[in-house]
Amino acid sequence: MSLSPHLLKAALFWLTCLVTFHVQAATPLPAPPEVTATGYFLVDSHSGKILAEQDPDRRLEPASLTKIMTAYTVFRELRQGNINLQDAVLISENAWRTPGSRMFIEVGKRVKVIDLIKGMIIQSGNDACVALAEHIAGSEGTFSALMNSHAGRLGMHNTHFVNSTGLPHDDHYTTPADIAKAAAATIREFPEYYLWYKEKSFTFNKIEQHNRNRLLWRDESVDGMKTGHTEAAGYCLVASAQRENMRLISVVMGTKGEGARAQASQSLLNYGFRFYETHRLYAAGEVLNRTRIWKGEKEKLPLGLTEDLHITIPRHQYKNLDARLEIEPEIMAPIAKGDVLGQVSVTLNGEPVTEASLVALKSIADGNIWQQIKDSALLWLK
């Protein structure tokens, strides 16, 4: 059958569109931007998906990036009730004499914990760090041990702290990947305190100082976190930004200037937001399946996840996701809430993306004698 010139032209047009769409869908992601830094790391805060990295596990001097873990440790003490935001801290001569950036506290005076925290986060005050460390642990050395304990719990296995400030020391180091874990933990566990990281200035003792994170002025999606600089460490910046339901954390260490660290961080964040998207597939506690349980007081057991399940994938690929539930056969009572009874596996175009344990969302006790006899018979027939 022959086609008229008009129909042939239309057919060729749609065929071209289909071919073009196929080529665009199959186009690989571009490489991350070139960043001049000793090491860098870009990760999605919710899913943990790494989007760009260079020497992520290289041990580097963190300078004032240290204060992210100092603040995290202080926040833990607040949550545990060991200190209070309104506590009046007596400033020691040791804290007052701490070199480097300062919030200008005075020896012998009392300063509230909340002011010291803001002085540490916004003004990057080394004196504030030492005052908080001494108030919490008696000495900066003991406080550093607390910092290392939290670092180990968070999986920061290439990190070691000897002070709360980030002043240079041969045995004081972290990595781009490790400090990103501390940043993510702060955002996840202490959203009410994380808000201080976006404040652009703080005035104490009639001295106003501005936050050194330039991105707070350049990009309204950026809401933290911390700068750092020493001669040996270079210029460093941990930044976090949220656009819609996606939060990214970038770490840049060892750049040559304030402008360079800001530009490198902005380039990484823009790359991540442009080419990736994050979705929450399932909420913690959401019932994903009701499976048969044998010889229990109930016949159906709800299964789900203990934590929200997020994934980060290339943009426009959500329709190509596939999720599968794998559940243990013949589950027998008793079952305790939280018992692992299977897993959720997520693939994209047939390739693994993530997986999570499928757990019991409630406890099921043994059934009575009649229920056990009945189910034993049904299992025998099965």
Max CA distance (Å), the chain: 98
Indicate if 67 belongs to the active site: yes
Looking at 45, 49, 67, 118, which residue is catalytic?
A: 67
CB under 8 Å to 303, separation ≥6 — which residues? 287, 288, 289, 290, 291, 325, 327, 341, 342, 358, 359, 360, 361
As given in the structure block, the two tokens for residue 303 are 């299964």
Nearest 5°: the CA angle 264, 266, 271 is 100
Looking at 124, 144, 164, 240, which residue is catalytic?
A: 124
Q: Are 191 and 256 in contact (CB under 8 A)?
A: no
Question: Which residue shows structure tokens 């929200």?
Answer: 308
The CB density around residue 86, as the number of other CB atoms within 10 Å, is: 8
As given in the structure block, the two tokens for residue 210 are 């501005």
Report which of 288, 316, 314 is spatially closest to residue 301, judged by C-alpha positions.
Answer: 288
Please confirm whether the linkage preceding 225 is cis (ω < 30° from 0).
yes
- Cα 120 from Cα 112, distance rounded (Å): 12
Residue 108 burial by Cβ neighbours in a 10 Å radius (0-12, 13-18, 19+): exposed
Report which of 105, 121, 265 is spatially closest to residue 180, judged by C-alpha positions.
Answer: 265
Looking at 45, 47, 64, 164, which residue is catalytic?
A: 64
Q: What is the residue type of 268?
A: L
Q: Are 92 and 209 in contact (CB under 8 A)?
A: no
Catalytic residues: 64, 67, 124
